[in-house]
């Protein structure tokens, strides 16, 4: 599970066997969610509150390039 960054106690990551489209998993304890990054959209939610979803979406929107770079570097993609 490559971690991209940790912010406000939320760990932003992807799994080594993940698949496209590019997306990011967000984990904090037992709370988990999955977001696509283009567009930034909630795909799965297991415990995030509405306010946390908004905050996490904002963080992802501000870091789309960073997330994409990590994804492409890890999966050796140049798209």
- Domain range holding 30? 3-74
Instruction: Please spell the DSSP secondary structure of the chain, one letter per residue.
Output: --EEEEETTEEEE--TT--SSPEEEEEETTEEEEEEETTEEEEEEES--HHHHHHHHHHHHHTHHHHHHHHHHHTT---
**Nearest-5° angle of CA 4, CA 75, CA 34?**
50
> Does residue 79 belong to any structural domain of this protein?
no
> Does residue 30 belong to any structural domain of this protein?
yes
> Does residue 50 belong to any structural domain of this protein?
yes
Q: How many domains does the chain have?
A: 1
> Per-residue pLDDT for 77 more than 60?
no
> Does residue 40 belong to any structural domain of this protein?
yes
**7-26, pLDDT tens digit by residue?**
999 999 999 999 999 999 99
């Amino acid at each position: 599970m490559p971690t991209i960054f940790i912010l406000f106690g939320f760990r932003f990551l992807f799994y080594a066997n993940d698949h496209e489209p590019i997306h990011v998993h967000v984990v904090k304890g037992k709370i988990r969610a999955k977001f696509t990054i283009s567009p930034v959209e909630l795909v799965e939610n297991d415990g995030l509150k509405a306010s946390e979803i908004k905050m996490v979406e904002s963080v992802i929107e501000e870091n789309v390039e960073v997330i994409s770079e990590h994804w492409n570097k890890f999966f050796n993609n140049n798209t």
